[in-house]
Amino acid sequence: MLKRVRSQSAHSVLCCPIGVTLFPTPFPRAQFDQALKLQSIYNELYCAMTEDEHWIQTTLQEILHVNPLAAALWEIHQDVKRVGGYTQNISCGIFRSDYMLQGDGTSKLAIDPADGSISIPQLKQVEFNTFSCAGASHAQKTVDMHRHFTRTGAYNSLTNGNSPVGLAALPENNNIQSLAACLAGAHTLYGQAKSKVAAETAVLLLVQPQNFNIADERPVEYALWNQASPVPAYRVEWGDNLLEHTSLSKTKELLFHPPWLQSQVPIEISVVYLRAGYEADEYDHVGKMARVRLETSRAIKCPSLLAQILTFKKVQQALTEPGSVERFLSPNKAAKIRKTFVPMYPLDESQAGLQARNWATDSDVARNYVLKPSLEGGGHNVYGANIPDFLASVARSAWCAYILMERIHSPAVYNVLMSPQGIGSGPVVSELGVIGTCIWKKTTEGSEFLSNTVAGWSYKTKHTDVDDMSVVKGYGCFDTPLLY
């Protein structure tokens, strides 16, 4: 479990360990099971949204002039339509829905002194990710570590034989195999090579140069090769390398020309798994050309361009508005989804947006909110009392790029966190991420599921005096839920 250190760092160490907790952190079993059951419904929701271009455009129209990434992706979408449109009607998704527990306003688990019963907090969604969901491999390795400590009795030695940790309370995690199975399933659906010049097919992993997430990506790549029927998988860096080592046939097959092979026979790409292309600066002229090539090809994309666009926080906020979820789901399923929502507001010039602007600029009221931009990678949110000063530094015309979300007040427990910054103990709160995989086909009536699976989960924990949960930024640690 390593994170590659960016080359700008002023030392020669190439990797550092990912932060983990010493002990598993308690999490109610009922809410864990609830989150798992909800994922197939969330998959259904986001797949249906992906095929509703009108709803997407209406939802994001206002932020296109203030969000460079949204503008770039929408421009590419228009370019694809201008040059002939999308060739492949099958899409693949690896999604993650993140949750925290909403307590009763106290800073700890509420226990009734009369009978010792625990007041169970409610499951509330933090965000939904549709693109390059990182951490799945690290999450599985962390569970393996905690289960190993439990088997060997390490926790008994640390607690004088009174450890509450048992294997039955530590859920198993098979993220790596599940993600590989999804990609392998899409590879199988693609079928044999269709180009006259290619003899075989493969999955293409699209990654960033100097990629700090390589240790999280490689296990999925290796798991593809380790399938009962091995699925070839190759890595290509975003940008110039992608354009140099791929081409489109006349019939839109995406052909990969491995630089290390002497043969002139290309490999036809069945599935493109994108782990790059989520930052605005990746979409210069070369980046846009590369994405248009991918999107116009016959390769199955994981995810598609429109599915990526749905990861924006503006979409999450729009779903809280009356009728939005119900546009895509049955009333029963929509009600289950809505129970996980917390209040979210636009910062535009609508009536709700103007009210939210008043709250966000009032230092006392703002303490109960989080300001969220539509950026990936963690560490971009602005919390509580810092919101008014931050907004004062941003042109009011750009405020619509943010959404205001009510803070989730999770009950705290005690744990020890181990990170590259050191070891610290004290009160902590956790975040559960549930991973879903799905493959669907676009139809004249919307979308048709070919697979819809709850693939696994991740669990992260941070100190209560730290706002951001980002493991990448060094704030949070990977963890395992101790179910009770």
- Binding residue per annotation — 374? yes
Tokens representing 468 are 């951001």
191 is in an annotated binding site: no
Residue 153 marked as a ligand binder: no
Return the number of other C-beta atoms located less than 10 Å from residue 6's C-beta.
Answer: 9
Residue 67 in marked binding region: no
Lookup: tokens for 254: 């995406």
Is residue 340 within 8 Å of 38, Cβ to Cβ?
Answer: yes
Is 468 annotated for ligand binding? yes
Q: Would you say 405 is a known binding-site residue?
A: yes
Q: Report the C-alpha gap between 107 and 401 in whole angstroms.
A: 32
Q: Is 376 labelled as part of a ligand binding site?
A: yes
Q: Does 250 belong to an annotated binding site?
A: no
User: Is 462 marked within a binding site?
Assistant: yes
- CA-CA distances (angstroms) from residue 272 to 6, 364, 413, 440, 457? 25, 47, 41, 15, 23
406 is in an annotated binding site: yes
379 is in an annotated binding site: yes
Beta strands 402-406 and 422-443: pairing type? unpaired
147 in a known ligand binding site: no
313 is in an annotated binding site: yes
Angle between helices 285-296 and 68-82 (to 10 degrees): 50
- Give the phi and the psi of residue 318 in degrees, each rounded to 5: -65, -30
CB 183 within 8 A of CB 92: yes
User: Does 279 count as an annotated binding residue?
Assistant: no
Chain centroid to Cα 419, Å, comes to: 22
1: Cα separation from own chain's centroid: 18
CA distance 292 to 276: 14
Torsion sign (Cα): 302, 123, 40, 167? positive
Q: Is 387 annotated as a binding residue?
A: no
For residues 16 and 2, is the Cβ–Cβ distance under 8 A? yes
Annotated binding residues for Mg(2+), written as ranges, equal: 376
Annotated binding residues for ATP, written as ranges, equal: 313, 372-381, 383, 405-408, 431, 462, 468
Annotated binding residues, written as ranges, equal: 313, 372-381, 383, 405-408, 431, 462, 468
